[in-house]
Amino acid sequence: MIRFEPREPASLSRLILVPVAAAVVALALAAIPMGFAGLNIFKAYGLMATGAFGSLFAFTEMLTRATPLILTGLAAALAFRAKLWNIGAEGQLYAGALAAVAVGTGVIDAPSFVLIPLVVFCGALAGGLVMLGPTLLKTRLGVDEVVTTLLLNFVILLFVQMMLEGPMKDPMGMGWPQSEPILDAAALPKLMARMRIHGGLIIALVAALGVYLLLKRTVWGFEIRAVGENANAARHAGIPVTATFIRVGLISGALAGLAGVGEVAGLKGYLTADLSPGFGYSGIVVAMLAGLNPIGVVVAALFIASIFVGADSMSRATGVSNYLADLIVAMALISVLVSGLFLRFKVRFVGQRHTEGAAK
Amino acid sequence: MTSTVDGAPVVLKLERITKRFGALTANDDVSLDLHRGEILALLGENGAGKTTLMNILFGHYVADEGTVAVAGTNGTLKELEPGSPHAALNAGIGMVHQHFTLAENLTALENILLGTEPLSSFSSARGKARKHLGDLMQRSGLTVDLNARISSLSVGEKQRVEILKALYRDARVLVLDEPTAVLTPQESDTLFATLKKLASDGLGIIFISHKLDEVLAASDRIGVLRGGRKVADQPTAGCDKRQLAELMVGKSVPESTRTPQQPGAALLVLSQVTTGTGRDALHAVDLELLSGEILGIAGVSGNGQGTLAKVISGLEAPISGTVSLNGKQLTRSSARGMIDAGIARIPEDRHRDGIVGPMSVAENLAIETIRKPENQRFGFLRFDAIAARAKEAITAYDIRCQGGNAPARLLSGGNIQKIVLARTLDSDPIVVLAAQPSRGLDVGATADVHRRLLEARSRGAGVILISEDLDELMRLSDRIAVIHRGHLSSAERTENLDRGTLGMRMAGHSEEQAA
């Protein structure tokens, strides 16, 4: 029989060790199907590592992939800290991207130092406003935000498709459903010549630091933690619970919106309906892997990004499907969730005793 | 009474039970015998290990060391399989938890039969069960309407169903955890009369309590636990209150007493306050709290005192009626508004409403004033100031913790209450609302709470003390009002009241009594 006994708060070393161990376990578990697929496991992981870290190009590609994941990861982590279950980062990302192309493709003509901040601001605002609806429905009417945010993802994606087929369709786009390109003056600067890595990474890292400071050092952060850990006590102590939820919803949505800005204004240059391969959903995984810690989000996003980029590269070299990356990520998430149990509880194995035989 | 038990066979034997949770030893080498037909009171402060011991007995926990043995039907002791509630039930141990484990939407009969019926032959056994229960009720005097839904029963009736449930399963040992916590004094007397009858029929009974009076009145033998160890095990005859209190706490506890004091002007006035619907709603409640007095609110749990506390805490707005403080009407019904008006609120459920468990002691001490300039500048927390004030409060209120950074959830109930007291009373509030402030606290922590409330009173604050403990109310309150089904009686001076009168009013017999 297995028994769980609560343990004292885990030490910092354990907090770091457990997710790392979980990642290793995930890689080990994923090796099983790789073995069945006939791969040399060490070679395959070697190829993955090379694909993510083997060259300057590989490394910057990995960082480029991590950029939106950091932002959607932060969006989830911040919201989840307040127990506001924002599953809608995907939709908020598209809303941010849509706003970025709406103001960044020629409607306004201004120099870079005006246009870039404007595009970034509008993208963040759009993401925040998308999250405001579900937040208000939750605080006013008690509507479950898991349902509303999740369903809004599809509404927004369909809206984006409508815009791309209609009013925002690029007349020069050869009939493809895509927006006009972002003006050069509105594009986020590249960080390195001939590489795709862009200014969105700086935004993401600053955002991570910002969310960390917000949670740790500010009154708002204090209130967010209090509401998240015990909303009843927070309300009793006079903390504005509703205002805190709205604040968190706006910031969380804005962070996801920034991810969309980075993808269109930093990477792709125009908006298509396949801008995001599920960055919003992966952000939830990132946040969970990170234990909802903003600095941990950066590390977890780098991990997930290197798995994705590495698996792509390995798949090209070996012919094994890059769905393997999803498998590893899923294993990592399960491992981390299980390991969370080990952080909070001591697990003891108690020998089964027989009723009759035990009498001495 | 004890002499009749001495020769009786042992029905339950706990031998050298030790249970550790991490660094904490909850039970340390505890041995206990229960005889046939005996009522054993298990006395101890909160955290003394009473409930842990009973949970081991009932198979919820597994002891690290030691054994539990129960007498079989033939009287020989047999060791109980550890960690199995099922085995405990089969061995004839019945447990009545403090929070009842009844399905509210089923009838009393269905609840009693739940888990005893085989899935086949569902209907045929009912008649027999009903007859058997009828016999049981007649023998024990525990009468309930078997066809009534649990949700329609009073607390006392629910408790009877719980006991019947245990008897129906042929319990030879009955354990009751704090059975009187939810009862009126009259209901408690009835309960103890029933227990005595059951014991005289051969049932072995353990009841857990921290109320000295009832332990002395109702038990044959008293076991005292302190810090996980058994410090006394003696016949009730020959025990006295002071000695038991000292055994429980390990030192003598000075009881706070009220000194006469002239109350001042009206502070908090509720006029015709009515809230929504339901059993817990308030109906046209009038209340006037004077400066320098403690106003007690007596009542059986669930009669509206929770709602009254919510209204004064700013968590629920009345649908009609007014609340005013110092002659000024409080229109903004919010927790913030009440705090800013100078009302200190000690919540009934301190774990749920009082602290944010994972946050630190220091943060919990600052939570009500986090937006005040002393705690923040431009929206950034002033950690040094928060830590410094936490350190002062920890000393001043004797909060036992590993420092201001320790998570509040690791503290004992008494120390958690001290956090609440420190942060609410430190700002010298005009009005103090104390809802069940000593519930679940040990003797030492209770004395501390009482002292703080009396201090606030002598400072000139008005204190509203909502409690289910009549001893506490009568000792501390200048005046006492009784709440029943949402109606609040007018407050009367404590000198003019006695337990009987209050008990009648708590049960809703105010008119007859007043006439």
pLDDT number for residue A7: 63
CB pairs under 8 A between A and B: 95
Residues B140, B197 contacting (CB under 8 angstroms): yes
* Partner-chain residue, chosen from A222, A238, A358, that has the shortest CB–CB distance to B79: A358
Among B410, B426, B442, identify where a domain stops.
Answer: B426
Residues 6+ apart with CB under 8 A from A93: A68, A72, A127, A256, A257, A259, A260, A263, A275, A276, A279, A280
pLDDT number for residue A358: 35
Judging contacts by C-beta atoms under 8 Å, the chain B residues touching residue A226 are: 356, 359, 363, 367
Q: How many domains does chain B have?
A: 4
Interface touch A236/B313, C-beta < 8 Å: yes
Instruction: Determine, yes or no, domain membership for A63.
Output: no
- Residue A350 in this model has a pLDDT that exceeds 70: no
Instruction: Determine, yes or no, domain membership for A49.
Output: no
Q: How many domains does chain A have?
A: 1
- Residue A335 in this model has a pLDDT that exceeds 70: yes
Instruction: Determine, yes or no, domain membership for A42.
Output: no
CB atoms within 10 A of CB B92: 21
User: For chain A, what percent of residues have pLDDT higher than 90?
Assistant: 65
Instruction: Determine, yes or no, domain membership for B348.
Output: no
- B376 touches A at CB < 8 Å: yes
- Residue A351 in this model has a pLDDT that exceeds 70: no
pLDDT number for residue A356: 36
Domain housing B363? 355-426
pLDDT number for residue A1: 55
* Minimum mean pLDDT range among A134-143, A213-222, B506-515: B506-515
| Chain A, nearest residue to B88 by Cα | A355
C-alpha span between A336 and A285 (Å, rounded): 10
Amino acid sitting at position B88? A
Interface touch A236/B336, C-beta < 8 Å: no
Instruction: Determine, yes or no, domain membership for A36.
Output: no
- Residue B377 in this model has a pLDDT that exceeds 70: yes
- A15 touches B at CB < 8 Å: no
Q: How confident is the model at residue A357 (pLDDT cuts 50, 70, 90)?
A: very low
Contact residues, B window 384-413, toward A, CB-based 8 Å cutoff: 407, 410
Distance of CA A172 to the CA centre of its chain: 33
- Residue B504 in this model has a pLDDT that exceeds 90: no
- Residue A348 in this model has a pLDDT that exceeds 80: no
Contact residues, A window 310-349, toward B, CB-based 8 Å cutoff: 346
Same domain? For B81 and B193 the reply is yes
- Residue B234 in this model has a pLDDT that exceeds 70: yes
Q: Which of A132-136, A315-319, B120-124, B275-279 has the highest mean pLDDT?
A: A132-136
- A217 touches B at CB < 8 Å: yes
pLDDT number for residue A9: 63
Which of the two residues, A54 and A318, has the higher pLDDT score? A54
Interface touch A219/B345, C-beta < 8 Å: no
Nearest to B368 by CA among B358, B355, B357: B355
Instruction: Determine, yes or no, domain membership for A320.
Output: no
Residues A185, A112 contacting (CB under 8 angstroms): yes
Average pLDDT estimate for B335-357: 92
Residues 6+ apart with CB under 8 A from B195: B39, B176, B205, B207, B218
Judging contacts by C-beta atoms under 8 Å, the chain B residues touching residue A222 are: 363, 367, 370, 381
Interface test with A, best of B55, B61, B78, B356 (most A CBs within 10 A): B356
pLDDT number for residue B515: 38
Average pLDDT estimate for B483-509: 88
Among B252, B283, B315, identify where a domain stops.
Answer: B252
Same domain? For B20 and B118 the reply is no
Same domain? For B60 and B121 the reply is no
* Averaged pLDDT score across all residues of chain B: 87
Is residue B426 classed as helix, strand or coil in its secondary structure? Answer: coil
Instruction: Determine, yes or no, domain membership for A8.
Output: no
Average pLDDT estimate for A273-283: 94
Q: How confident is the model at residue B136 (pLDDT cuts 50, 70, 90)?
A: confident
pLDDT number for residue B369: 92
pLDDT number for residue B454: 94
Residues B479, B263 contacting (CB under 8 angstroms): no
Residues A203, A263 contacting (CB under 8 angstroms): no
* Partner-chain residue, chosen from B83, B359, B368, that has the shortest CB–CB distance to A229: B359
Complex ipTM > 0.95:
no
* Element containing residue A67 per DSSP (H, E): helix A56-81
Q: How confident is the model at residue B21 (pLDDT cuts 50, 70, 90)?
A: confident
Same domain? For B242 and B385 the reply is no
Residues B136, B120 contacting (CB under 8 angstroms): no
Report CA-CA distances (Å) from A51 to A54, A286, A313: 6, 20, 5
- Dump pLDDT digits (tens) for B58-84: 888 888 899 899 888 777 888 888 888
Instruction: Give bridge partners of residue A73 from the DSSP assignment.
Output: none
- Dump pLDDT digits (tens) for A123-157: 999 999 999 999 999 999 999 999 999 999 999 99
Is residue A216 classed as helix, strand or coil in its secondary structure? Answer: helix
Same domain? For B39 and B56 the reply is yes
* Element containing residue A69 per DSSP (H, E): helix A56-81
Instruction: Determine, yes or no, domain membership for A80.
Output: yes
pLDDT number for residue B2: 40
Is residue B345 classed as helix, strand or coil in its secondary structure? Answer: strand
Same domain? For B371 and B420 the reply is yes
Nearest to A242 by CA among A174, A158, A141: A141
- Dump pLDDT digits (tens) for B260-319: 888 889 999 999 999 987 778 999 999 999 999 999 999 887 789 999 999 999 999 999
- Residue B512 in this model has a pLDDT that exceeds 50: no
Among B426, B448, B464, identify where a domain stops.
Answer: B426
Which of the two residues, B311 and B227, has the higher pLDDT score? B311
- Dump pLDDT digits (tens) for B409-462: 888 788 899 999 999 998 889 999 999 998 877 777 888 899 999 999 999 999
Interface touch B353/A232, C-beta < 8 Å: yes
Instruction: Determine, yes or no, domain membership for A165.
Output: yes
Interface test with A, best of B313, B365, B367 (most A CBs within 10 A): B367
C-alpha span between B180 and B182 (Å, rounded): 5
Same domain? For B289 and B229 the reply is no
Report CA-CA distances (Å) from A187 to A115, A168, A221, A255, B449: 9, 18, 32, 18, 64
Residues B65, B56 contacting (CB under 8 angstroms): no
- Residue A217 in this model has a pLDDT that exceeds 80: yes
The backbone torsions φ and ψ at residue A167, rounded to the nearest 5 degrees and listed phi first, read -60, -30
Q: How confident is the model at residue A334 (pLDDT cuts 50, 70, 90)?
A: confident
* Minimum mean pLDDT range among A233-247, A309-323, B119-133, B353-367: B119-133
Interface touch B87/A236, C-beta < 8 Å: no
Judging contacts by C-beta atoms under 8 Å, the chain A residues touching residue B336 are: 238, 240
Average pLDDT estimate for A307-328: 84
Domain housing A132? 69-290
Token pair of B396 as six digits:
């001043």
Same domain? For B54 and B191 the reply is yes
Judging contacts by C-beta atoms under 8 Å, the chain A residues touching residue B359 are: 225-226, 229
- Residue A354 in this model has a pLDDT that exceeds 50: no
Same domain? For B122 and B165 the reply is yes
